[in-house]
Each structure stands twice: as structure tokens, then as C-alpha cells.
């Protein structure tokens, strides 16, 4: 597969903000409830179900015994807020070299300043920005030990991006697919883990039609989101089929129904559920959801988690029969590659 990286003249240098005196004051990454703050103290330690950064730090110490480089380079997309920002903080506390990527320049820079880590900006609704991001990452980081494809969102009425693709499908699947493939050689060299943020929506809301990936025949925001999350699982399984023997290990997970702003651009019940303060009290905090990403990023494939699987609450879980169909996964890969010009 030809990777087709952008020309060197298109590459931009990342910013490297200095470490602040106190990163714990950020509302973007702080626990959202008293119960979560109690959990963050690390009571009832269990690597299978980490709730706080102290427990995760102990778990990180154990993972360092596997002989790999310390700290490892962990790239997290969608890290300007929500579970991406929470996981970035947890992994930084665990001693890893975190690289945060976000869509919003101001919010991304704020998280990076608080954590003292490098940051990059890319809007997945514009695939040229994903290509530029890949070029910068390849130029800047000789190793990428973990790629967390966490960027995504749920939107409203059907919209088409400047690249000509349905917005939900592009942001939730095509952007991460393109970035992963552009970084593929570096990821294989690093024997990397690829962590995909999916959702139970892949099972509950998807109506996956491989012949209508753009939702042109019938569209709803809920179904489009479910289809995008199912595409994440299919992509995960196909990575392992194609590159597992080369040392790549991919895994997908459901972070929980997270109290964050990822549905701010949506309409109807999605927007109410994720932005209403009363409804948000029933949701999972970003700290807990982030810890589920962190658990996979710190874990050892084949020991702590199984490559090619879908996890919920740090345990293997099922999505749908479509997710286990290798022919659909192969076709999705091939059609996605054609869409992004690989």
C-alpha cells in the first residue's frame, strides 16, 4: 500500500508548551462528581478496573518491566477535552510521553500547557489536516508506541465535508483510518498498540450498509453515529488480520456514556442527554471513561487485553454479528482506502 505522505514543505512544527506549576485545576480533565473524586484516590485497587491515577501509576510501574522504552510515546487524538484529555493527564502522571491532538486550537493548547506536553491541531472534517498531522508526527517522533484514535462525535442533519463525504462517517472513521495508514510503517517499527474509541452504539444504533456508507439512501444522526462506531470495530479487527504478524495490536472499547461535550453539535435527544446538567449526572465522568482508555494504553497486548477485541468496562464484550464478518471488514478497508486516496 502506498502511503503518499505530504510534501515536506507542507509540514509544520509542533508547539512544545512548558510544564505549569499545577495542572490539577483544569475543569477539562478533573473528575466531575464526588464519587469519581473518591475513586481517583485509588481505593480497591484492581488493574482490571482502574478508577484513579494513583492506581494507574502502580499499574504503569508493572508494565515497565516488559523491557520496552520508558517513557513510551503515546499519541491521543480528540484530546482537547473529554476522555482524551482525562487519559492524557493519567498517562502523563504515569510517566509516559503523551502527545495531545485536538480540533480546537485554544482548548488543545490549554490541555498541553497544563500537562507540559506537545500538542498538534487537526480537524478531521478536513482530510488535508489529517495528512499534515501525519507528516508532523513522522517528522517529530522517531517512535509511536501507542496511537489512540479517540477523535469523533455525533452530529445533526446530514452534512457533506469539503472532501465529499458524510460528516459523521468521515470524523468517526475515515480520519482515523487515514492517520493510522499514514503512520503505518512507524507503528509497525514501534510494534505499537492502536486503541480505538468505539461505543455500544455500534451494536444498539447501527444499521450498517456497506453499499451506502455515506447514508445517501436513508439517514439519521443516531444511525450514522452507530455506523461510524461499528466501522471502528471492523477497522480494529482488520488491522489485526493484516498486520498482527508484523507486531501491530489493535483494540476497540466502549468508554461509557460520557458526560462531555462531544455531542454539542448534535440535535434532538443526543444533545439533551450529553449537555443537560441534570442528565449529565447520570452519565459516566470523563475521568472514569479516560481511565478505560488509559488501561488499554498501559496494558500489554496478549496479557492484559486481547488484540482484535472490543472491550467494555475493561472486559471483552460483543458488538454485533456484522463486526465479526471478515468480508465486510475487508471491503470497508478497501473502500475507505479508495476514498482517502491510499
24, pLDDT greater than 90:
no
Please check whether residue 89 is in contact with residue 53, taking contact to mean a CB–CB distance below 8 angstroms: yes
Q: Is residue 258 a contact partner of residue 192, using CB atoms and an 8 Å limit?
A: no
Within-domain flag for 56: yes
- Round to whole Å and give the CA distance between 266 and 259: 14
pLDDT band at 321 (very low <50, low <70, confident <90, very high): confident
Displacement of CA 181 from its chain's centroid (Å): 15
In this predicted structure, the answer to whether residue 46 has a pLDDT above a threshold of 70 is: no
Note the pLDDT of residue 244.
95
Residue that wins the pLDDT comparison between 156 and 96: 96
pLDDT at 47 over 50: no
* Beta bridge mates, 253: 197, 311
Per-residue confidence (pLDDT) for residue 198, from 0 to 100: 80
Determine, yes or no, domain membership for 33.
no
Helix axes 127-140, 175-182, angle to 10 degrees: 30
For residue 48, pLDDT over 80 is answered with: no
- Report the mean per-residue pLDDT for the chain: 78
d(CA 163, CA 1): 21
Catalytic-labelled residue, pool 124, 165, 225, 311? 225
pLDDT at 81 over 70: yes
User: From CA 182, how far away is CA 235, in angstroms rounded?
Assistant: 15
Considering the domain boundaries, does residue 24 fall inside one?
no
Residue 202 lies in a domain: yes
Give the residue with greater pLDDT, 65 vs 166. Answer: 166
Is the pLDDT assigned to residue 246 strictly greater than 50? yes
Cα separation, 254 vs 319, in Å, equals 10
Q: How confident is the model at residue 269 (pLDDT cuts 50, 70, 90)?
A: low
* 34 falls within a domain: no
Does residue 19 fall inside a structural domain? no
Indicate the number of domains in the chain: 1
- What is the pLDDT, as a whole number, of residue 39? 37
C-alpha cell at 1: 500500500
Q: Are 311 and 305 in contact (CB under 8 A)?
A: yes
> 224 falls in which pLDDT band (50, 70, 90)?
confident
Confidence of residue 203 (pLDDT cuts 50, 70, 90): low
- Is residue 186 within 8 Å of 138, Cβ to Cβ? yes
Q: Which residues share a beta bridge with 196? A: 149, 252
CB 121 within 8 A of CB 105: yes
Which CATH number covers residue 52? 3.40.50.720
> Dihedral (C-alpha) 145, 59, 287, 14: value to the nearest 10 degrees?
-30
Model pLDDT, residue 102? 97
User: Is 165 an annotated catalytic residue?
Assistant: no
Q: Comparing 53 with 45, which gets the higher pLDDT? A: 53
Does residue 157 have a pLDDT over 90?
no
The most confident of 41-45, 197-201, 311-315, by mean pLDDT: 311-315
Average pLDDT over residues 66-74: 74
b/e code 266-287 from CB counts within 10 Å (16+ = b): beeebbebbbeeeebeebbbbb
Residue 142 domain-assigned (yes or no): yes
pTM passes above 0.85: no
Quick check: is 25 in a domain?
no
Domain span at residue 108 reads: 8-12+41-340
**223 Cβ contact list (under 8 Å, min separation 6):** 205, 206, 207, 215
Amino acid at each position: 500500500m502506498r502511503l503518499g505522505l505530504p510534501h515536506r514543505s507542507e509540514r509544520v512544527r509542533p508547539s512544545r508548551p512548558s510544564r505549569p506549576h499545577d495542572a490539577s485545576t483544569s475543569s477539562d480533565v478533573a473528575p466531575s462528581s464526588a464519587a469519581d473524586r473518591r475513586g481517583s484516590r485509588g481505593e480497591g485497587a484492581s488493574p482490571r478496573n482502574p478508577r484513579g491515577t494513583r492506581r494507574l501509576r502502580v499499574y504503569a510501574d508493572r508494565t515497565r518491566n516488559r523491557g520496552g522504552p520508558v517513557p513510551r510515546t503515546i499519541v491521543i487524538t480528540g484530546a482537547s477535552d473529554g476522555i482524551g484529555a482525562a487519559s492524557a493527564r493519567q498517562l502523563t502522571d504515569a510517566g509516559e510521553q503523551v502527545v495531545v491532538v485536538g480540533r480546537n486550537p485554544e482548548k488543545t493548547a490549554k490541555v498541553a500547557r497544563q500537562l507540559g506536553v506537545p500538542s498538534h491541531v487537526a480537524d478531521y472534517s478536513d482530510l488535508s489536516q489529517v495528512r499534515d498531522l501525519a507528516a508532523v508526527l513522522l517528522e517529530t517522533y522517531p517512535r509511536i508506541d501507542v496511537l489512540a484514535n479517540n477523535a469523533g462525535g455525533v452530529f445533526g442533519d446530514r452534512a457533506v465535508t469539503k472532501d465529499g463525504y458524510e460528516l459523521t462517517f468521515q470524523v468517526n472513521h475515515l480520519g482515523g483510518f487515514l492517520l493510522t495508514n499514514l503512520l503505518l510503517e512507524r507503528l509497525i517499527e514501534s510494534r505499537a498498540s492502536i486503541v480505538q474509541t468505539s461505543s455500544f452504539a455500534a451494536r444498539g444504533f447501527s444499521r450498517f450498509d456497506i453499499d451506502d456508507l455515506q447514508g445517501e439512501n436513508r439517514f439519521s444522526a443516531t444511525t450514522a453515529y452507530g455506523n461510524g462506531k461499528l466501522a471502528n470495530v471492523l477497522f480494529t479487527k482488520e488491522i489485526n488480520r493484516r498486520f498482527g504478524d508484523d507486531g501491530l495490536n489493535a483494540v476497540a472499547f466502549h468508554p461509557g456514556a460520557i458526560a462531555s461535550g462531544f455531542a454539542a453539535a448534535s440535535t434532538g435527544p443526543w444533545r439533551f442527554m450529553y449537555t443537560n446538567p441534570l442528565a449529565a449526572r447520570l452519565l459516566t465522568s470523563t475521568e472514569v471513561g479516560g481511565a478505560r482508555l488509559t488501561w488499554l494504553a498501559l496494558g500489554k497486548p496478549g496479557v492484559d487485553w486481547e488484540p482484535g477485541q472490543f472491550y467494555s468496562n475493561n472486559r471483552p464484550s460483543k458488538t454485533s454479528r456484522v463486526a465479526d464478518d471478515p468480508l465486510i471488514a475487508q471491503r470497508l478497508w478497501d473502500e475507505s482506502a479508495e476514498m482517502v486516496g491510499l
